[in-house]
Amino acid sequence: MASVTLENLQKTYPNGFKAIHGVDVDIQDGEFLVLVGPSGCGKSTLLRMIAGLETVTEGKLSIGGKMVNDLEPSQRDIAMVFQNYALYPHMTVYNNMAYGLKIMGLSKQEIDERVKNAAKILELTEEQLTRKPRQLSGGQRQRVAMGRAIVRKPSVFLFDEPLSNLDAKLRVQMRIEIKRLQESLGITSVYVTHDQVEAMTLGHRLMVLNGGNVEQLGTPIELYERPASLFVAGFIGSPAMNMISTKMSSDGKSIEIASDISLALENGGAADYAGKKVILGVRPEHLELSQTDNSLPFTVTLVEHLGADTLIHGHFGEDMTDLTVRVSGTHTVKAGDQLPVTITRDHIHLFDPATEKRISL
């Protein structure tokens, strides 16, 4: 058990490419931190730096209060689960899990105990322990890879997109198992994914990375309810948040959504932005299909029936601003219909178009 502390951690590759621009985070003992972002954002690099597979160019990395910048991966008291499992193909499942322990110099009895115990936690049968990895299904290989991490009894678990090679159904199942496992073992974990659903469901805290910078660090609910930037707003939530270019009224107390429709803001609005352009963000699930004084004339272009929900795509206004509405249950709306859509002020987000940062009200 240990905390992991990153202080101004930076990575510059020999060819001059700067992959990580200084990350600060204090990962608590037993915490599950998820690094999330689009591909190429540096999340895997950051994880590999913690693992010791990439060198740290600048900054300080400590695990359990001990600086580990220059330690070999095996001396950092970590275990890692790889995207493609990285199981040794010529060894049996048992030996795959036991290999690291043998190198540690543990007794045969101790190794056997640990491997059997991990197999029990992961519901791997005795018979499966004698098989080679290629004789196992994807989900079983994933379990073995996790077993290899568990038997080391590390202070920190590192996961590098461990579920991305599994099919959708198995992914949901393994996600729950990882969550349960982490909670029961209480081991500090860092998990990399590009899948925002995985990130939201697994993490105690999420770190959204973009181009080697931290966009936001916070709990899943914080990120969902108060995204700090346009990037986070667009990344978290599916389908993505609707972004509408609007203008603040001259007194800064309301925004003008369309020519004759305006929306009064909470807490007296933002006087600094009076008369300026702002971006209004509103999630599809926070739009209401109802006729009010402020409702927008919305033209439906496409309807997606998900069963539990219905996604209605369309546009409004003279400049045909795209909008997606999510309503629960099934609806008989079809393309070409005209519907009134209302934006309420409870669930709106405003962003500065120049800095792309959130405007707090």
Partner 1 sequence: MIENRPLLRIMSHLIMVAGVVLVAFPLWITFVAASHSEQRMTELPLPLLPGGHFFENLDIALNQGLWGGDGTGVGFMLFNSLIMALMISIGKIVISLLSAFAIVYFRFPFRMGFFWMIFVTLMLPVEVRILPTFEVVANLGMLNNYWGLSIPLIASATATFMFRQVFLTIPDELLEAARIDGAGPLRFFKDILLPMSQTNIAALFVIMFIFGWNQYLWPLLVTTDQDMFTIVMQIGKLLEGGEEAPQWHITMMTTLLAVIPPVIVVIFMQRLFVQGLTETEK
- State the minimum distance, in angstroms, from the CB of residue 322 to partner 1: 41
Burial of 101 (C-beta count, 10 Å sphere; 0-12/13-18/19+) = buried
Distance CA 4, CA 35 (A): 14
State which residue, 3 or 165, has the beta carbon closest to partner 1. 165
- In angstroms, what is the minimal distance from the CB of 73 to partner 1? 5
Of the ranges 36-44, 48-56, 177-185, 293-301, which one interacts with partner 1 (CB under 8 A)?
48-56
In this chain, which stretch among 22-30, 36-44, 98-106, 231-239 interacts with partner 1, using CB under 8 A?
98-106
Site for partner 1 in 57-86 (CB under 8 A): 72-75, 78-80, 82-84, 86
Q: SS3 sequence, 94-141?
A: HHHHHHHHHHHCCCHHHHHHHHHHHHHHCCCCHHHHCCCHHHCCHHHH
Residue for token pair 């939530």: 237
CB burial of 108-144 (b: ≥16 within 10 Å; e: otherwise) equals: eeebeebbeebbebbebeeebbebebeebeebbbbbb
Which of residues 108 and 277 has its CB atom nearest to partner 1 in the complex?
108
Select the span of 89-97, 304-312, 313-321, 322-330 touching partner 1 (CB under 8 A): 89-97
> CA geometry: angle at 20 spanning 14 and 22, to 5°?
120
Q: Cβ closer to partner 1: 56 or 230?
A: 56
Return the half-sphere exposure (C-beta side, CA atoms, 13 A cut-off) of residue 78.
28
> Could you check whether the bond before residue 239 is cis, i.e. omega within 30 degrees of 0?
yes
Closest contact distance (angstroms) between CB of 84 and partner 1 is 6
Residues 342, 344: Cα–Cα separation, whole Å: 6
Q: Which residue, 78 or 124, is less far from partner 1 as judged by CB? A: 78
Among 53, 106, 121, 172, binds partner 1 (CB under 8 A): 53
Q: C-beta of 104: minimal distance to partner 1 in Å?
A: 6
Contact set for partner 1, span 138-167 (CB under 8 A): 148
Which CB sits closer to partner 1, 72 or 346? Answer: 72
Q: Which residue has the tokens 């910048």?
A: 69
Cβ 128 to partner 1, closest distance in Å? 19
Nearer to partner 1, 114 or 148 (CB): 148
Interface residue with partner 1, options 65, 89, 329, 336 (CB under 8 A):
89
**Interacting residues with partner 1 between 21 and 40 (CB under 8 A):** none
CA atoms of 20 and 58, how far apart (whole Å):
10
Question: Would you say the C-alpha torsion 128, 129, 130, 134 has a positive or negative sign?
Answer: positive
The 3-state DSSP class for residue 44 equals: helix
Member of 18, 99, 131, 197 binding partner 1 (CB under 8 A): 99
Q: Which residues bind partner 1 (CB under 8 A)?
A: 51-53, 72-75, 78-80, 82-84, 86-91, 99-100, 103-104, 148
